[in-house]
Amino acid sequence: MSEENNINKFENPYYKKRIVEGPDGEKFEVDPLKDYFCDEHPKVHKPSKIPVIENFLNWARAESLWVLGFGTGCGSIEIPPLMTPRFDAFRFGVQARPTPRQSNVFIISGYLAIKTLKRVIRSYEQMQNPKYVIALGSCTINGGMYFDSYNTINRLDYYIPVDIYIAGCMPRPEALLAGFNKLKELIKEGKAEKANEYAEKFEWYKANQKKIIKDWNMPDYNW
Amino acid sequence: MKDLINKLSVGFEITDVVYQRKDITFLTVAKEKVIDLITHLRDYEGFSHFVLLSCVDWIEDNIFQLTYFLNNPEKKHDFAIRTNIDRNNPVMTSAHHLWKQIATYQRELKEMYGIDFPGSPRLNENFILEGWDNIPPMRRDFDTKQYAKDTFFPRERPQTNDPTEYMKSKLYPKE
């Protein structure tokens, strides 16, 4: 193995400082981490002081749950049947969306490898508030049957905040529907405020994430 | 197939033959002869399909055992070419020029066992593990349970009891 390969293994060449030539031949320096990404940390969105307005907003939030189509483990096989006539999650106002910017519910379906966790964090941070996380299956609770694996995490709530857990290995689509209903109740009561917790304890979450993602070659907050 | 093996054993010094099943035969050859044997089987004996390349860590004998699985689609017969390489200096000749997909197997073996295949394309890139800084995880001296305990914030598990002892103490506390 050559030495050069070892040194540059963790660096992403896209984020390197470089000199770029403009369309009219002008040359200027680009530092992608500073110029392309905002380095501001997430902010806490406080609930409204007037209870009527806050209740109305929570009701509205509870009725529009848009799920990000991101399957992380074996549990993602339980999500396609949700959109079939048999289970029909659409009658609860739940629908799937392809990109993080368009959705506000993130279902972590099953075990998470470290490689996937990196993408999960990035997608979660790109989602817009109000956003909620559903952790599906026992792997997200304590590691499940992969508790001693070198490459899958044990507890999800150390890396991203979790609003509701659905236990089981694997939970059936009915359990997922029950989970959605429970999540709706929590939102209506104003208890699903984990996105604010992420903003409050941002440093702690980042420290945990960086402990296991050793080749951290992306910005701290991807807005 | 026995005729073919007798013919091969003259030129390629086959040290061990195991007739595992009617359609699978394991051949053990020296490290230097493997690529020659595979090339010969592919070009002249009709073993045109490459099935898999795998590795076993025999830590007691201090060797890695590589297995190249070849298939003859016409005769419906499999040959598994085994070879042993030194565990302390795991270097093997690359075979990516014979079938393209071998390069991917070799990338995986490089990451999981630390076996070097000089000249194989994209060998040092990350395959599954990103930013791994420990000894390769599929080696048997890597303690995966301890590693997970130190790294992944394990949740405390409820205390478990041996069912026989527990029921005895519940039902017959005086005994």
Q: How far apart are CA A182 and CA A93, in angstroms?
A: 14
Is A223 a member of any domain?
no
Average per-residue pLDDT for chain A: 87
Confidence of residue B159 (pLDDT cuts 50, 70, 90): confident
pLDDT tens profile B41-96: 999 999 999 999 999 999 999 999 999 999 999 999 999 999 999 999 999 999 99
Residue A58 lies in a domain: yes
Instruction: Name residue A69's amino acid.
Output: G
Are B155 and A214 inside 8 Å of each other by CB? no
3-class secondary-structure state, position A154: coil
Residue pair B65/B56 in contact (Cβ under 8 Å)? The answer is: yes
Q: Report CA Rg, chain A.
A: 20
> For residue range B103-158, what is the model confidence (pLDDT) as tens digits?
999 999 999 999 999 999 889 888 888 888 889 999 999 999 999 999 888 888 77
Cα–Cα distance for residue pair B64/B67, rounded to 1 Å: 10
A76-133, pLDDT tens digit by residue?
888 889 889 999 998 998 988 999 999 999 999 989 999 999 999 999 999 988 899 9
Q: Is B141 an 8 Å CB contact of chain A?
A: no
Assigned domain for A84 exists: yes
Q: How far is CA B102 from CA A132, A197, B24, B65, in A?
A: 43, 48, 21, 16
Element (H, E) at A117: helix A114-126
CB contact under 8 A, B153 and A118: no
Residue B158 near chain A (CB below 8 Å): no
- Using CA coordinates, name the residue in chain A closest to B149: A148
Spatial neighbors of B23 by CB under 8 A, at least 6 apart, are B76, B77, B78
Q: What is the pTM of this model?
A: 0.84
Q: Which chain B residues are within 8 Å of A9, Cβ to Cβ? A: 124, 126, 131
Q: What pLDDT score does A223 carry? A: 66
Structure confidence at residue A10 as a pLDDT band (50, 70, 90):
low
- Tell me whether residue A65 is in a domain: yes
Give a yes or no: residue A158 inside a domain.
yes
Contact pairs from chain A to chain B, CB under 8 Å: 66
ipTM of the predicted structure? 0.80
pLDDT of residue A214: 86
Cα-based torsion angle of the residue sequence A54, A56, A57, A63 in order, rounded to the nearest 10 degrees: 140
DSSP A74: G
Query: Alpha-carbon distance A60 to A140, whole Å?
Result: 29
Provide the domain count of chain A. 1
Pull the structure tokens for residue B115. Answer: 């076996």
Does A18 map to a domain? no
- Asked whether the predicted pLDDT for residue A61 surpasses 60, the reply is yes
* Predicted pLDDT of residue A216: 82
Range of the domain at A61: 51-212
Looking up residue A158, the CATH number of its domain turns out to be 3.40.50.12280
Whether A170 maps to a domain, the answer reads yes
What are the boundaries of each domain within chain B? Answer: 2-171
- pLDDT for the residue numbered A33: 75
Of 3.30.460.80, 3.40.630.30, 3.40.225.10, 3.30.420.40, the CATH number of B2-171 is: 3.30.460.80
Supply angle C-alpha A178, A180, A184, rounded to 5: 115
Per-residue pLDDT for A2 more than 70? Answer: no
Within a domain: residue A221?
no
Which of A1, A143, A212 comes nearest B124 by C-beta? A1
